[in-house]
Amino acid sequence: MKVKVPVMVQDEEISQYKGMRITEQFTITGEDFFLDGPVTRRVAVLNFDTETGALLPGVRFQPASQDRELGRYEIADENDIHACDFNQVSVFGTVLQTIKMFEEEDNLGRQVAWAFMAPQLLVVPRAGEWANAYYERESHSLQFFYFRNVYTSLSRDIVAHETGHAVLDGIAPDLYNAITPQSLALHESVADLTALIMAFRSGTLCEAVLDHTGGSIECSTAFSSLAEELGRALGVHPHAGYLRSLLNEKTLDPNSDNPVARSEPHALSEVLSGALYKVMVNIHEAIKHELAGKEGLSPSEIPGVALWRGHQRFKRMMFRPLDYLPPGEVSFADYGRAIIASDQASYPDDEDEREWIREEFVRRHMVADRAALEVKSNFEHPALKDVDLQTLIDSDWAAYEFANHKGRELLGIPEGIPFRVRPRRDVTKLYYHRDSEQKIRKERIRECLFKVSWDSTEPNQLGSQFPRERQITVGSTLAIDWETRKVRALLTSRRKVGSKEQLEQQGDRDLMLSRLVDEDLLQLSRRAIGPDGKRLDSLIVAESTKDLMRIRGTARMLHIVG
Amino acid sequence: MDKLHVRVYNVRFGDAILVSVPDRVADDKIETRHILIDVGNTATGKGGDDVVFRPVIDDILKVLGGRPLDLYVMTHKHLDHVQGLLYAHKQLFPGEGLRQKLQLRHAWLTASAEGEEYYKKHPKAKERRDMAEGVYDAIRSFLDSSPERQACMDLLMMNNDPRKTDDCVDFLRNLTGNDWYVYRGFNLEGKHLFQDAHFEIWAPEEDTSVYYGRFHPMALGVRRDERAKPTLTLPTPPSGVDAGAFYNLVEIRRHGYVDNLLAIDAAANNTSVVFSLEWRGWRLLFTGDAEIRSWRTMYKQHKLNPFLKPVHFLKVSHHGSCNGMPPAEMLDTILPEPPPDNRHRRAVVSTYPGIYDKQGKVPDDETLNQLRQRCELFSTQDLADGECKDFDFEA
């Protein structure tokens, strides 16, 4: 069944000053059913009355009929974007549009699964008055608030960003409980990149921006600035008016002109996002160069075509590696290695994009040097000889046996410690390759994704009221090519004790956790119980057992705090 | 020999402290002056039996012996610290009886108790206070409409009810024409009569907006009608929506009210007047209900311009809750180990068990044990209702 819904091009104010249409149409395909709400098997929009808490009626669904080829939702006036019915349908459209971008066969190549282990993501477009929006695993929901007449659910950037959090949580659930600032920043960055890619997909927006900038994406804030309308309402960047900019020169080098606080995930994420946006600019420029003078394209068409192709390449480069992220506490360097590994395994001879990644990661001090991003891919390993991948996927017992014996050394699991084998994944993704005649050919690569994790401890520097040690989770991802049995990627978040990366990560955790304690956001579990005997919601809770601290739900609180 | 005398009363869940200080008057004569710090209890439930005030007030008046009360300190606007004198005025000494007996000379009240005058000068604090009051009203409607009410929630609500505390504060400010609204940095010259005792106010900050934490989003789902009792909305999941997830979402969106009520409570606690009294080599610290945010603010300010000092006597903050304990690094400053002058140190906690049993338990055993490692600790729990415990400090 196909259903057409209106979605926001960006947000109201920005559309107006850029002279663009405010909405465009999106056709949804591939959903099992549509109900009033909108409600589908995977997404349900719930419109609560913010005053009384009553659930307001959902927007009525009209299936396709003899007169109408596509199903639709009954919106009284599609031009009245502030009306509840429009809001419900447009947020639904943007959420599904974002989910489907992730599911494309050249991206994750599968249906996304939610970290909360249930089929339906609940979406509340008008959650109350507050300058915020967030994804919350515990309530299976995206909640969008409004502030000074700015509805966050009417900003495509914000809706795509929050949906990005939800999707990433399903792919890399450990990031939700991470205590390393860079792990949490990675969540923000991926959500920002999601918003960016969704912006590139809007023909209306691309046309308006490229017209305005003479075909460049380097000098426009339309793509690089996130949540402009809300930013203006909040007065965050009074001159520019956005919540976050991807077009930046921020770096982890404390001696630079643009250093960021290593303990603050939102600020840290700008370093990573800035680096990746620069890569996108390079890709766009390179494709424009490639297309220049090509037959059948007028010069004015080139930037738009290059942007469409470039964003597809960028999307694959950024999101496919999420499957390769090792479990546990990861750093920007881990993500960088995952990007390189994924790209290298697929395009061993095409170095340009990988070079740009290395350049940016080194330039912004996310890694010490290029060598830190070196990863081996497409290699054989004796542990994989005669391994039945289907059995590894199907049987927990077989998977554990493999990790405990044949694969233990390969996976880097230390001797004598218990470990967990994560659910394995059988994934097939579409790759585009150039053949010897420079023609593009499609190739589907099937992989077995095998992940293990274990816990390790480190000193806790939070003062005498907290346990002296804290638990951190680390682990490894092994991606095996189903056909060749070669290792496509092997990545680990395990660090050699005393290594520069380990010491940096540990120091960053100390800084962030101390800040959370100072801001009353982190509390021992015995202090986090309300008078009703239930756990308080506004805290990150540290469980303590035998002088060992374990923290859960860090990302939830940081999303809520904003 | 001269002795400074601290008398701590068991008023159940609340504070009432009388400090008697030998002080120089004219011709180098020594007379005893008196400071009364807070009189109140929770006013409801087993922690709030008002009967305890009779023996307490009688004893205070007996100690005064017909002489004036030199200073009254109202640490903060919570019933368990302010309602005792108004109760005594209404129930025990009708008319002007209590006012005349106390003959109060000076009153120090926490800065924000000045009311609208204060908030005119501090718009940020006003914004936060107004938000807190809005949240409080919403929670009240919710609890009024909720089928299940818990005593501890009622107690928190009553303690933070601005209408109830305003009456008490009005009464206290009118006990004397010399009512001062104090904060760290407030010039105390001429605001008391003591010659030999030296006071320093460590908290609150003048702008109390720093004490308000974040308010959590809450969707309580209450229909409010001015003419009728508020009613709770109980939405049901629409067709096709996972019912378990739906009810879970509604519950999570509602539950933020508990955090918000505690945030309101903590904000008031953190406006507590925390002051030190130095007398002939002894230093005593009175803390009201200062919570962790106040302690941290003090410590932050101390790092900029040192004022925290080791003390010999500590009135344990916030009835011995874990939230009232200063952070470890600050405790090392006020109760360093070993004591710098090797003097015996004492602390007293005024508390009553079984009031907040679920919420991290008050008093908190671990908190009290930490203090026991640094000083001798006494608790009003060990006294009968209305009884007192004395602490002497010899000159």
CATH class of the domain at A3-171: alpha beta
Domain residue extents for chain A: 3-171, 203-507, 508-561
Nearest CB to A531 within list B152, B238, B252 = B152
Calculate helix-pair angle for A156-171, A84-103, nearest 10 degrees.
Answer: 40
Q: How many CA atoms lie within 13 A of A340 on its CB side?
A: 25
Question: By CA distance, what is B219's nearest residue in A?
Answer: A53
Task: Give the Cα separation of A463 and B329 in Å (integer).
Answer: 8
The tokens for A397 are 């017992």
Nearest-CA distance from B18 to chain A in Å? 31
Higher pLDDT, A509 or B395: A509
B359–A529 C-beta distance less than 8 A: yes
Residue A222 confidence (pLDDT): 61
* Residue B160 forms contact with A (CB below 8 Å): no
Q: Which of A526, A537, A561 lies closest to B360 in CB terms?
A: A526
Contacts of A464 in chain B (CB under 8 A): 328
Q: Name which of B216, B249, B292 is nearest A139 (Cβ-Cβ).
A: B249
The CA distance from A240 to the nearest CA of chain B, in Å, is: 26
Which residues 6+ apart lie within 8 Å of B79 measured at CB?
B40, B41, B42, B43, B48, B158, B159, B161, B164, B165, B168
Task: Spell out which residues of chain A touch residue B327, defining contact as CB-CB under 8 Å.
Answer: 463, 465
Cβ–Cβ below 8 Å for B249 and A124: yes
Task: Measure the N-to-C terminal CA separation of chain A; round to a whole number of Å.
Answer: 38
pLDDT attached to residue A238: 45
Which chain B residue has its CA at the smallest distance from A144's CA?
B217
Cβ within 8 Å, pair A145-B296: no
Sites in chain A below the pLDDT cut of 50: 238-241
For an interface test with B, the pick among A41, A43, A55, A60 (most B C-beta atoms closer than 10 Å) comes out as A55
The answer to whether B188 and B199 have CB atoms below 8 angstroms apart is: yes
B 300-329: CB under 8 A from A = 322-323, 325, 327-329
B376 contacts chain A (CB < 8 A)? no
DSSP class per residue in B34-78: EEEEEE---SSSGGG-GGGHHHHHHHHHHHHTTSPP-EEEE--S-
Q: Shortest Cα distance from A548 to chain B (angstroms)?
A: 17
Q: Among all residues of chain B, which has the CA nearest to that of A531?
A: B359
B136: left (phi over 0), alpha (psi -120 to 50) or beta: alpha
Which of A56, A122, A468 would best serve as a mutation to test chain B binding (most B beta carbons within 10 A)? A122
More confident residue, A62 or B96: A62
User: B296 CB near a chain A CB, below 8 Å?
Assistant: yes
Structure pTM? 0.89
Q: Which CATH architecture has domain B3-116+158-205+278-394?
A: 4-Layer Sandwich (3.60)
Q: Which pLDDT belongs to residue A299?
A: 78
Nearest CA in chain B to A39: B240
Bridge-based pairing of strands B313-315 and B346-349 is parallel
Query: Nearest 5°: CA angle at A259, between A257 and A263?
Result: 165
- A540 min Cα distance to partner chain B (Å): 13
Distinct helix (H) and strand (E) counts, chain B: 11, 15
Q: Is B344 helix (H, G, I), strand (E, B) or coil?
A: coil
Contact criterion met (CB below 8 Å) for B120 and B111: no
- With CB atoms and an 8 Å threshold, state whether A122 touches B328: no
Q: Do B217 and A560 touch (CB under 8 A)?
A: yes
**How many CB pairs below 8 Å do chains A and B form together?**
148
- B330 close contact with A: CB closer than 8 A: no
CB-count exposure of residue A147 (10 Å: 0-12, 13-18, 19+):
middle
> Where is pLDDT greater, at B44 or B36?
B36
Mean pLDDT of all residues in B99-109: 95
Answer whether A39 sits within 8 Å of B239, measured CB to CB: yes
| B residues 194-233 lying closer than 8 A (beta carbon) to A | 213-214, 216-224, 233
Task: List the domain boundaries for chain B.
Answer: 3-116+158-205+278-394
Six token digits for residue A128: 């109350």
Q: What is the pLDDT of residue B53?
A: 94
Residues of A in contact with B246 (CB under 8 A): 46, 122
Q: pLDDT per residue over B329-378, tens digit each?
A: 899 999 999 999 999 999 999 998 877 765 567 888 889 999 999 999 99
Mutate to test the interface with B, among A46, A541, A559 (most CBs of B within 10 A): A46
CB contact under 8 A, A538 and B263: yes
Contact of B142 with chain A, judged by CB distance below 8 Å, is answered with no
In angstroms, rounded to a whole number, what is the distance separating the alpha carbons of residues B156 and B42? 9
Residues on chain B touching A465 (C-beta within 8 angstroms): 325, 327-328
ipTM of predicted assembly, 2 dp: 0.91
3-state DSSP call for residue B356? Answer: strand
* B238 lies within 8 A of chain A by CB: yes
Name the residue of chain A whose CA is nearest to B236's CA.
A55
Q: What is the pLDDT of residues B151-208, one digit of tens each?
A: 778 888 988 998 889 999 999 999 999 999 999 999 999 999 999 999 999 999 999 9
User: Least CA distance to B357: which residue of chain A?
Assistant: A531
Whole-angstrom distance, CA of residue B326 vs CA of residue B349: 14
Residue type, A249: E
Distance from CA of B301 to the nearest CA of A (A): 14
